[in-house]
Amino acid sequence: MLAKLSTLLFGGLLLSGTLYAKAPVVQKTAKKPVYVDVWQKIYGGKDDDIAEGIVALENGESAIVGTCKSFGAQRKDICVTRMNADGEMKWRLWLGGKKNDEGKAIARTADGNIVVLGRSKSFTKAYAYDLYVAKVSLDGKKIWEKTLGGERDEYAGGIAGTDDGGVLLVGASESYGGGDKDIYIAKLDKNGKLVNAHTIGGSKEDMATALTRTRDGKMVAVGYREVEYVGDSDFFIMQMDQNGKMRWRKHFGGEYEDKLLGVTATVDNGIVAIGSTRSYGSSQTDLTVMKIDAKGKTIWHKIYGFKYFEYGNAVATTRDGGFMLAGGTNTLGKGNHSVYVLALDRAGELIWSHVYGGERKDEAHGVARMSDGSMIVVGETESFKLTKKFYIIKLKKQR
């Protein structure tokens, strides 16, 4: 059932450090909130239900992909939920089979339908995860499904629609390539037929975690690469055409673990990517966000963090050309992890931040701008029920 939550806002300190700052300075603020929550909702059944990604539909509505164990799911199923502008469910669809299936990413296709990416153990002969892709109609009917994989585990990253009605997807594979885990890229046509697939990587771990389509039709994947030794990773960014052919790629980072986990397109054909870093003077793990132009040049790179762990999982553009970041923190808030939401202006400067949640673990996994200009953050909460539930927050900018 959907349940409306009373507002649970815990104010916090704002921190803005540039990429090369050795000791970021904490700044206190008492400014009027830039964003306010219109509503907060939780959704789920008796078992764990987690929202992983969200895509905007028409009239302020949205579609959410996640992993659900409630409502008759077989072990774990990929679940797709359509919500109206008030956060009320219009329909719910389970995808997968009799074994464990996990949802990861969601996007629109050229014909306006929904495409979902996850991974599944239900359709493989080996006891391993295959990539799982499904196209779903706006009224909640499965149009087609497709699995991709080998004898070992595959990992879902991101998905985007192509001009010809098909999709491009990215992730990682242990089955193909020569490394421990290699970046996997695949193009499917409008009927779900595999057009091409290939891997990119070295001898260690390489992972594509998210994908976006830029305004001029290019595709940009982000993730991370282990370069010198296992456990150390660099930020990874790659621009491709709509068939998955690389145009350029870059990786960079500090001496410790640096990962990109989310990405969105900008109005000037560039991207803004978000993730986490243990480099650049971080005490533990800090949230990192950067703008990259269409040629791969870094325009700005910011780090936001406190004493313990801050990280960014998703980013979306706001109506005024800024950016909303969503992730988690265990420095601020009441719980061991709280939802951490930040708003930046076009130059990457922090204009607002807030934490949401209760006394247990709460984390944001996705964010999107709705057709009415509002922003919706989705993730998981353990603070309000005994098990994990969808956590959905609708935010609106103050006038």
Block mean pLDDT (10 aa), the chain, length 399: 34 33 36 86 92 97 96 89 96 94 98 98 90 98 97 97 98 90 97 98 93 97 86 92 98 93 97 95 91 97 90 97 96 86 96 93 96 97 91 93
pLDDT at site 392: 97
pLDDT at site 230: 60
Cα gap 164→98, rounded to integer Å: 33
pLDDT at site 22: 31
pTM value is: 0.91
Q: What does 10-76 look like in DSSP terms, one character per residue?
A: E---EE-EETT-SSPPEE---PPPSEEEEEEEEE--SS-EEEEEEEE-GGG-EEEEEEE--TT-SSS
pLDDT at site 332: 86
- Give kind and range of the element (H or E) at residue 181: none
Long-range contacts formed by 291-296: CB under 8 A, 24+ apart: 291/266, 291/348, 292/220, 292/237, 293/268, 293/269, 294/214, 294/216, 294/218, 294/239, 294/268, 294/269, 294/270, 295/248, 296/237, 296/239, 296/248, 296/249, 296/250
pLDDT at site 127: 86
pLDDT at site 9: 32
pLDDT at site 32: 66
Helices (H), ranges, the chain? none
Cα gap 20→39, rounded to integer Å: 38
pLDDT at site 231: 63
- The 10 Å Cβ neighbour count of residue 36 is 14
pLDDT at site 26: 35
CATH 1.10.10.10 fits 2-397, yes or no: no
Q: Is 39 left (phi over 0), alpha (psi -120 to 50) or beta?
A: beta
List the beta bridge partners of residue 116. Answer: 106, 134
Chain Cα centroid distance, residue 154: 18
> Is the Cβ–Cβ distance between 212 and 204 less than 8 Å?
no
Q: What is the chain's length?
A: 399
- Give kind and range of the element (H or E) at residue 300: strand 298-304
pLDDT at site 20: 31
**DSSP-based three-state secondary structure for 228:** coil
- The 10 Å Cβ neighbour count of residue 338 is 29
